[in-house]
Structures are given as C-alpha cells and as structure tokens.
Amino acid sequence: MRVALDTNILAYAEGVGDSARCAAAIRLIEQLPAALVLIPAQTLGELFRVLTGKAKREADLSRKAIMTWADSFDVADSSWTAFQAAMDLVTDHRLQIWDALIMAVAAENRCRLLVSEDLQNGFIWRGITVINPFFEPSSPLLATILQK
C-alpha cells in the first residue's frame, strides 16, 4: 500500500511548527517503509517555499533539505492528466488547487493513502484516502503499514 506525504507533514519533520507535531511527524516518517512512500513534486515545491519563507532558512539550506527528501523517497512529477483531475477536485469538492494536485498525483501513482493535516480526514477519492496523522482515533489503514 503506497503512501503519499503532504507538505505539512514534511514541514513538521523539518521543525516548522509546534514541538508535539514536529516530533509526531518525525516518528511517523521513521515508521513508514521507505519503499512505500511517494512525495509529489508539488509537495517539495511547497516545502521549499515554507522553509525559505515561514522558517526563514537560507535558500541553499532549504535546497539541501529538499534534495535530502528527494534522495530518501520516490518523487512523482505533476502531469497534465493529474492537473485536469485536480481541477475536477476543485470544481466538485472545493479543494484548493495545489492540495488537489497533490492528491491527484498521489492517485495517479496508485497511492492508497495521502497523509495530510490540511485535507478532510477520511476523504476518499479515486481509491486514495486522506489520513490526518494527528487525528484521534488513528487510522487503521495507516496502522497496517507502520513498522513496529
């Protein structure tokens, strides 16, 4: 079961946010089997913006962080087909376009889960389920793939 990660999860893992969520994001990522994790390229672009903007990191340090994520997990590019599907998500479900693109890329790459704090927990579209890792009770789907 493939798992896509949204920007907010990576940002927390980079230390941007409250300490409890940062620690939880790091634990989550450490428990996920790396071979099952996909990062949409859009996620990395947004993370670069968060690191250089909100976190006020130097661009070269932010680039290094992005490249480390890209070296650690599969990265999926956005396609025209994914962008068309994202527009459908915006139109039909009122998602923000960039969140919708991340979801569409994840679905296009046969992910079963999208781990995100931003989208509605439990939302299902084209076989992909949004899981908020900070939501209680935790997702049984996510629990099945976490390494113990």
What is the pLDDT tens value at each position of the chain, 148 positions in all? 999 999 999 999 999 999 999 999 999 999 999 999 999 999 999 999 999 999 999 999 999 999 999 999 999 999 999 999 999 999 999 999 999 999 999 999 999 999 999 999 999 999 999 999 998 878 888 888 885 4
Q: What are phi and psi of 123, to 5 degrees?
A: -60, 130
Q: Could you list the residue range(s) of the whole structural domain that residue 6 is in?
A: 2-145
58's CB contacts (< 8 A; 6+ apart) are 52
User: Which CATH number characterizes residue 118's domain?
Assistant: 3.40.50.1010
Give me the number of domains the chain comprises.
Answer: 1
Residue 10 CA to residue 20 CA, distance in Å, equals 14
Written as one string, the DSSP assignment of 89-108 is HHHHH---HHHHHHHHHHHH
What b/e string do you get for 114-124 counting C-beta neighbours within 10 Å, with b at 16 or more? bbbbbbeeebe
